[in-house]
Structure 1
Amino acid sequence: MHTQPSLARRGAAEALGSALLAATVIGSGIMAERLAGGNLAVALLANTAATVAVLVVLIALLGPVSGAHFNPLVSAVAVLRRRLAIGDSAVYIALQAAGCCAGAVLAHAMFELPLLQTSAHVRTGPAQWLAEAVASFGLLSVVIGHRRSADAPWLVAAWIGAAYWFTASTSFANPAITLARCLTDTFAGIRPADVPGFVLAQCAGAALGLGLGGWLFAPARAPERR
């Protein structure tokens, strides 16, 4: 009989994964901006590659422990789909937010920047919000629709990598990451004032993903016998 890891172990996996994810997103943005010589396309390409790579590794490594959510949207949807207890989800979400913020501080420390910052990077407006809704919708559709757990690492990473480029917002699709990114005045940052709009758009996209994905990917029912 399979025994689920303790909540302490699952929480630790969520905190660690979230911290490393945020450190990669922010740290690779810092490195890319320094090396790209002002070429934003090259900087975004480097930022994308690092994010895709770390997602594959973290989901494959920590998925068997906690499910590798690293995202309050994923944890909330897991509760609604009865895959995660409400109390456990509260622990997950708190540790995801704390982990992502710790990852921002870690990235700053590695690049000898002030540890505590406030971003001045403006990201707001209907186009940005629509982009976040689309990115979050796609992410939750992948989470709900994938058939084998072994496929999750590359499917999630591939979606986020693509959405970095085809969405106007560069695909945050994660309230915890969004919070962490308001704490860095670097390539990956977002103004604190712009965070609520992003989070609301992310929640709307996730809700649509849950509704449509739950219907689209529902198991086929056997035909009734007459």
Structure 2
Amino acid sequence: MERTRRALAEFLGTGLLVTAVVGSGIMAARLSPGNIGLQLLENSIATAFALAVLIIVFGPISGAHFNPVVSLADWWLGRRDRSGLPTSDLAVYIGAQLLGATAGCVLANLMFDVPAVTFSATERTGAPLWLGEVVATGGLVLLVFALARTHRASIAPAAVGAYIGAAYWFTSSTSFANPAVTVGRAFTDTFAGIAPASVPGFVVAQLFGLAVGVTALLALYPNAGETGDVPAAPVATAGTGRDA
């Protein structure tokens, strides 16, 4: 029963995150046609605030991972002393996140009267964007687990929201940093979409970012794996592609 409750929290949290990303992207494109910079600003602000709220709501239940990368890091760092995500829950979390991301994208599409599912035609590929994803994901992992290691989980909503809002602007990829949300966003041909063919490259880059973030964490906080106080955080932003 407890596992089901945590899985539901991950499903709803990831779904609502994607709804915020995709929905605010559609709204931004409609309110500010032709002004990509303003669209990105509107999208980033909405996503940062939504993310902070979702962490507050679902954090006490599941840790508010909303992101396979965060779940994998939690499991890996806590595997020796069993302080992190149990192995038996890892697949449950990731499955719930993937399903939630897809459902959240469909919900956003329906709210704005666009087809429930239309695969994106927006190609996002190339070494600069992949490097941006490594940076964005590595920074996210380092932030989340540094907060856990130093027992500052209470500031995670503000800190993670601020990081994602900033990462929209300082990474070439506009900081997807989340395999589940990357997959979910392939189902909308709107401002936040990513072409299905571009998804594998982003996911691989995010996994590299996971390795970078965990390596940096262990170098800076050698005992990081000894804490079970994971504030958690997701992420995936919308963005505009190569020229963002």
Structure 1 equivalent of residue 230 of structure 2? none
2:167 to 150, 163, 169: 163
Q: Secondary structure at the match of 1:209?
A: helix
- For 2:144, the aligned partner's letter is V
- For 1:164, the aligned partner's letter is Y
If asked which structure has higher relative contact order (CA below 8 Å, sep 6+), I would say 2
- The CA RMSD measured in Å over matched residues stands at 1.2
TM-score (norm. length: structure 1): 0.93
Q: Distance in 2 between matches of 1:125 and 1:20?
A: 29
- For 2:26, the aligned partner's letter is I
Identity %: 52
Is residue 134 of structure 2 the alignment partner of residue 130 of structure 1?
Answer: no
1:191 to 192, 195, 212: 195
| Cα deviation, residue 173, structure 1 | 0.1
1:35 to 31, 38, 41: 31
Which sections of structure 1, spanning at least 5 residues, go unmatched? 221-226
Q: How does 1:1-226 map to 2 (within 5 A)?
A: 6-82=2-78, 83-146=84-147, 147=150, 148-219=152-223
Per-residue CA shift, 1:68-96, capped at 9, x if unaligned?
00000000111101201111010000000
Contact 1:144 1:217 in 2 (8 A): no
| Cα deviation, residue 116, structure 1 | 1.0
Structure exhibiting the larger radius of gyration computed from Cα positions = 1
Which sections of structure 2, spanning at least 5 residues, go unmatched? 79-83, 225-244
Per-residue CA shift, 1:121-143, capped at 9, x if unaligned?
01000000000000000000001
Q: Distance in 2 between matches of 1:114 and 1:178?
A: 19
Q: Distance in 2 between matches of 1:37 and 1:192?
A: 25
Q: Distance in 2 between matches of 1:217 and 1:33?
A: 42
